[in-house]
Amino acid sequence: MTISEKLHAIGRPLLQAQLEHPTVAGIGRGDLAEPVFRSWLEQDYLFLLDYVRVFARLAWQAPDGHLGDLVDLAHTTYHDELSLHRSMSAGFGADLDGAVKGPACAAYTAFLLESAGSYGEGLAALYPCMWGYSSLGRILAQNPPDEPRYRAWVDTYADPGFEALTVRIARMIDEAAPDRERAEALFAEGMAHELAFWDVP
């Protein structure tokens, strides 16, 4: 079993906990209360700004074969994911520029930025976000919500292009070959942060 395959095995029950979370379930049904999604949107916008910084920090350490991937991931996150948040912000009355990190966002970004000090470990720590959202998108797309704004969210993370980026990160983790126990612990910690993040302020 490769490192990434073991991470998937660890992550599946934790992913199920996310699917059952009221915020995710509400998005999936299309009936999540707007103030909840507005708060999530603001927090995730702040998270993604630091997620780009995590990719940049890892790119500085990356072997030549991984450098382009990390630059591409930083670019995609900054231009595509953040653009989604900006486009959705008006419809939910979100104040992206005035938002302040809540405890879950602050704890998660601090964890990621610290973990990115080590290349292989940093990849394992950031993988829960990529793998989790790709998996959530794919599962929710099997019965997508009718509400168009939530449908747009699901479609973004169910996109095959996003899944391809996730697969590439898995390969990069295997190629970087971090200590298995450390990678598993960081991945599990990242998944715990992912779950906590849905408890929006």
* DSSP per residue, 167-192: HHHHHHHHHH---HHHHHHHHHHHHH
Summarize pLDDT for 88-134 with one digit per residue, the tens.
888 899 999 999 999 999 999 999 999 999 999 999 999 999 999 99
Distance of alpha carbon 119 from the chain centroid = 18
Mean pLDDT of the chain: 95
Q: Which string of b and e fits 114-137 if b means at least 16 CB within 10 Å?
A: ebbebbbbbbbbbbbbbbbbbbbb
Whole-number pLDDT of residue 155? 94
Distance CA 141, CA 144 (A): 5
Whole-structure pTM value: 0.94
pLDDT classification of 192: cutoffs 50, 70, 90: very high
Mean pLDDT computed over 49-68: 95
Summarize pLDDT for 148-187 with one digit per residue, the tens.
999 999 999 999 988 999 999 999 999 999 999 999 999 9
Mean pLDDT computed over 68-82: 90
Q: What angle, 0 to 180 degrees and rounded to 10, lies between the N-to-C axes of helices 22-29 and 119-140? A: 40
